[in-house]
Protein backbone atom coordinates (compact mmCIF):
# COMPACT_ATOMS: atom_id res chain seq x y z
CA UNK A 1 0.00 0.00 0.00
CA UNK A 2 1.32 3.42 -0.93
CA UNK A 3 2.17 5.79 1.89
CA UNK A 4 1.49 8.84 -0.31
CA UNK A 5 0.10 9.53 -3.77
CA UNK A 6 2.21 12.60 -4.60
CA UNK A 7 4.23 15.41 -3.06
CA UNK A 8 5.02 18.95 -4.17
CA UNK A 9 8.62 19.79 -5.01
CA UNK A 10 10.51 23.07 -5.39
CA UNK A 11 11.11 24.21 -8.95
CA UNK A 12 12.47 27.68 -9.66
CA UNK A 13 9.70 29.84 -11.20
CA UNK A 14 7.62 26.71 -11.85
CA UNK A 15 5.72 24.12 -9.85
CA UNK A 16 6.43 20.44 -9.61
CA UNK A 17 5.31 17.18 -8.08
CA UNK A 18 6.64 13.69 -7.64
CA UNK A 19 3.81 11.22 -8.23
CA UNK A 20 3.82 7.64 -6.98
CA UNK A 21 1.87 4.55 -7.97
CA UNK A 22 1.59 0.86 -7.25
CA UNK A 23 1.30 0.38 -11.01
CA UNK A 24 1.33 2.64 -14.06
CA UNK A 25 -2.44 3.23 -14.04
CA UNK A 26 -2.22 4.30 -10.39
CA UNK A 27 0.80 6.51 -11.19
CA UNK A 28 -1.05 8.33 -14.01
CA UNK A 29 -4.12 8.79 -11.79
CA UNK A 30 -2.06 10.11 -8.88
CA UNK A 31 -0.13 12.46 -11.18
CA UNK A 32 -3.48 13.88 -12.32
CA UNK A 33 -4.59 14.34 -8.69
CA UNK A 34 -1.31 16.08 -7.93
CA UNK A 35 -1.73 18.40 -10.90
CA UNK A 36 -5.30 19.26 -9.90
CA UNK A 37 -4.18 19.98 -6.32
CA UNK A 38 -1.83 22.64 -7.72
CA UNK A 39 -4.64 24.26 -9.76
CA UNK A 40 -7.58 24.17 -7.32
CA UNK A 41 -8.62 23.28 -3.80
CA UNK A 42 -9.89 19.78 -4.56
CA UNK A 43 -11.85 19.36 -1.32
CA UNK A 44 -14.80 21.31 -2.73
CA UNK A 45 -15.00 19.50 -6.07
CA UNK A 46 -17.97 17.16 -6.44
CA UNK A 47 -18.07 14.19 -8.83
CA UNK A 48 -21.33 15.24 -10.46
CA UNK A 49 -20.09 15.09 -14.08
CA UNK A 50 -17.64 13.00 -16.02
CA UNK A 51 -15.74 13.21 -19.26
CA UNK A 52 -14.01 10.47 -21.24
CA UNK A 53 -10.43 10.88 -22.46
CA UNK A 54 -8.84 8.80 -25.22
CA UNK A 55 -5.30 9.79 -26.20
CA UNK A 56 -2.27 8.33 -27.93
CA UNK A 57 1.43 9.25 -27.94
CA UNK A 58 4.72 7.85 -29.19
CA UNK A 59 5.95 6.73 -25.75
CA UNK A 60 5.01 6.47 -22.08
CA UNK A 61 6.48 9.85 -21.11
CA UNK A 62 4.74 11.57 -24.02
CA UNK A 63 1.48 9.91 -22.98
CA UNK A 64 1.81 11.23 -19.42
CA UNK A 65 2.51 14.78 -20.65
CA UNK A 66 -0.42 14.63 -23.09
CA UNK A 67 -2.71 13.27 -20.32
CA UNK A 68 -1.79 16.05 -17.89
CA UNK A 69 -2.02 18.74 -20.55
CA UNK A 70 -5.50 17.45 -21.48
CA UNK A 71 -6.58 17.98 -17.86
CA UNK A 72 -5.21 21.55 -17.99
CA UNK A 73 -6.98 22.09 -21.34
CA UNK A 74 -10.33 20.91 -19.88
CA UNK A 75 -9.95 23.33 -16.97
CA UNK A 76 -8.93 26.25 -19.18
CA UNK A 77 -11.49 25.77 -21.97
CA UNK A 78 -14.52 24.22 -20.25
CA UNK A 79 -13.89 25.09 -16.61
CA UNK A 80 -13.91 21.37 -15.81
CA UNK A 81 -12.23 20.52 -12.49
CA UNK A 82 -11.35 16.85 -12.02
CA UNK A 83 -11.65 15.11 -8.68
CA UNK A 84 -11.28 11.40 -9.51
CA UNK A 85 -9.25 10.05 -12.42
CA UNK A 86 -10.06 6.49 -13.49
CA UNK A 87 -7.55 5.01 -15.91
CA UNK A 88 -9.51 2.32 -17.76
CA UNK A 89 -6.80 1.30 -20.22
CA UNK A 90 -3.10 2.12 -20.41
CA UNK A 91 -0.16 0.90 -22.43
CA UNK A 92 3.00 2.70 -23.59
CA UNK A 93 1.15 4.45 -26.44
CA UNK A 94 -2.49 4.93 -25.46
CA UNK A 95 -4.70 5.82 -22.54
CA UNK A 96 -8.44 5.66 -21.97
CA UNK A 97 -9.78 7.31 -18.84
CA UNK A 98 -12.82 8.84 -17.21
CA UNK A 99 -12.43 12.04 -15.23
CA UNK A 100 -15.10 12.70 -12.60
CA UNK A 101 -15.57 16.23 -11.33
CA UNK A 102 -17.60 19.35 -12.04
CA UNK A 103 -17.58 22.72 -13.78
CA UNK A 104 -15.84 25.55 -11.93
CA UNK A 105 -18.15 27.69 -9.80
CA UNK A 106 -16.51 30.77 -8.22
CA UNK A 107 -18.98 30.57 -5.33
CA UNK A 108 -17.87 27.04 -4.52
CA UNK A 109 -14.32 26.48 -5.79
CA UNK A 110 -11.01 28.10 -4.99
CA UNK A 111 -8.53 28.24 -7.86
CA UNK A 112 -4.88 28.22 -6.87
CA UNK A 113 -2.00 28.51 -9.35
CA UNK A 114 -2.42 29.06 -13.07
CA UNK A 115 -0.65 25.98 -14.41
CA UNK A 116 -0.07 26.38 -18.16
CA UNK A 117 1.49 23.05 -19.14
CA UNK A 118 3.25 19.89 -18.04
CA UNK A 119 6.84 19.81 -19.33
CA UNK A 120 9.41 17.21 -20.31
CA UNK A 121 12.00 18.88 -18.04
CA UNK A 122 13.86 16.03 -16.24
CA UNK A 123 10.83 13.79 -16.85
CA UNK A 124 11.52 10.12 -16.19
CA UNK A 125 8.99 7.44 -15.28
CA UNK A 126 10.76 4.75 -13.26
CA UNK A 127 10.16 1.90 -10.88
CA UNK A 128 11.96 2.24 -7.56
CA UNK A 129 11.72 -1.01 -5.62
CA UNK A 130 7.98 -1.81 -5.73
CA UNK A 131 6.74 1.71 -6.50
CA UNK A 132 6.46 3.60 -9.78
CA UNK A 133 7.36 7.28 -9.59
CA UNK A 134 7.74 10.33 -11.81
CA UNK A 135 8.94 13.89 -11.23
CA UNK A 136 6.89 16.41 -13.23
CA UNK A 137 7.60 20.13 -13.64
CA UNK A 138 4.74 22.44 -14.70
CA UNK A 139 4.98 25.82 -16.39
CA UNK A 140 2.99 28.47 -14.53
Residue ranges of the domains in the chain? 6-120
Round to whole Å and give the CA distance between 80 and 9: 25
Instruction: Answer for the pair 81, 103: CB distance below 8 angstroms, yes or no.
Output: yes
Of the pLDDT bands very low, low, confident and very high (cuts 50, 70, 90), residue 13 is low
Full-model pTM: 0.91
pLDDT for 74-113, tens place per residue? 999 999 999 999 999 999 999 999 999 999 999 999 999 8
pLDDT for 27-38, tens place per residue? 999 999 999 999
pLDDT for 28-70, tens place per residue? 999 999 999 999 999 999 999 999 999 999 999 999 999 999 9
Q: What pLDDT is recorded for position 11?
A: 60
Q: What is the DSSP string of the chain?
A: --S-SEEEEEETTEEEEEEEESSHHHHHHHHHHHHHHHHB-GGG----EEEEEEEE-SSHHHHHHHHHHHHHHHHHHH-EEEEEEEEEEE-SSEEEEEEEEEE--TTT--B-----EE--TT--EEEETTEEEEEEEEE-
Q: Which CATH superfamily is domain 6-120 in?
A: Archease domain (3.55.10.10)
Instruction: Answer for the pair 6, 31: CB distance below 8 angstroms, yes or no.
Output: yes
Amino acid sequence: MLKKKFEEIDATADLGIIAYGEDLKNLFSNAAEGLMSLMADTKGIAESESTAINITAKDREGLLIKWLNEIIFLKDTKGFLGKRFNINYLNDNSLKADIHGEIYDPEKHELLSGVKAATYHNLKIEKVRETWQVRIIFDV
